[in-house]
Amino acid sequence: MNLSETVSDGTTCALVDYASIQEDPLIRQAIGVLEERLFRRGASLTSPTAVREYLRLKLASEALEVFAVVFLDAQHCVIAYEQMFRGTIDGAAVYPRAVVKRAIEHNCAAVILAHCHPSGSTEPSQADKAITTRLKSALELVDVRVLDHFIIGEGVPFSFAEVGLL
């Protein structure tokens, strides 16, 4: 459902009503199809675009900051997607120990990190950069690679790997 809002300069911009997206059965069905195609055990992640769009559908409608992890095996086949931490409108406490614990429990070889910015901005904050570095260091100790970290907001999700921050 698109909403229109008139900006102070007289132009109209389209806003997405994320609450209605989450309630829309067609969108839920689309997410289910994506999960079947991308995230069934044995399917390998070969398209960063598909992962980006999947994470966008999963996290864009969140009213609070949510931090999620996609756990992968050695061939980058998905083992699990988990929303691990929930926060406030502008932050979430992320505990590397808990991520490492789940990585070990899943016996994964790699992870993709993702979180949403309810404000809409996909620019990484200093805190985002710091937790990515901490998670990467902690996971390296148990031989788990961090392949990417996506920030979901308005527009194209931000990829740490694509801009060389990993």
Long-range contacts of 2-9 (CB under 8 A, 24+ apart): none
Pairing between strand 12-16 and 2-6?
A: antiparallel
Distance CA 136, CA 109 (A): 13
Tell me: the pLDDT tens digits for 94-132?
A: 999 999 999 999 999 999 999 999 989 999 999 999 999
Comparing 16 with 165, which gets the higher pLDDT?
165
Distance CA 111, CA 148 (A): 8
Distance CA 69, CA 136 (A): 13
Roughly what angle, to the nearest 10 degrees, separates helices 126-140 and 96-106? Answer: 40
User: Is the Cβ–Cβ distance between 158 and 124 less than 8 Å?
Assistant: yes
Average pLDDT across the chain, whole number: 84
User: Would you state the structure tokens that stand for residue 70, as one six-digit string?
Assistant: 């996609």
In percent, the amount of the chain with pLDDT more than 70 equals: 80
Long-range contacts of 54-57 (CB under 8 A, 24+ apart): 55/112, 55/114, 55/150, 55/152, 55/157, 56/152, 56/157, 57/27, 57/30, 57/31
Distances in whole angstroms, Cα of residue 105 to Cα of each of 3, 29, 38, 41: 43, 29, 21, 16
Q: What would be the CATH architecture of the domain defined by 2-159?
A: 3-Layer(aba) Sandwich (3.40)
Tell me: the pLDDT tens digits for 3-38?
A: 444 444 454 444 455 555 566 788 777 877 777 666
Tell me: the pLDDT tens digits for 53-74?
A: 889 988 988 999 999 999 999 9
Residues ≥6 apart with Cβ < 8 Å to 163: none
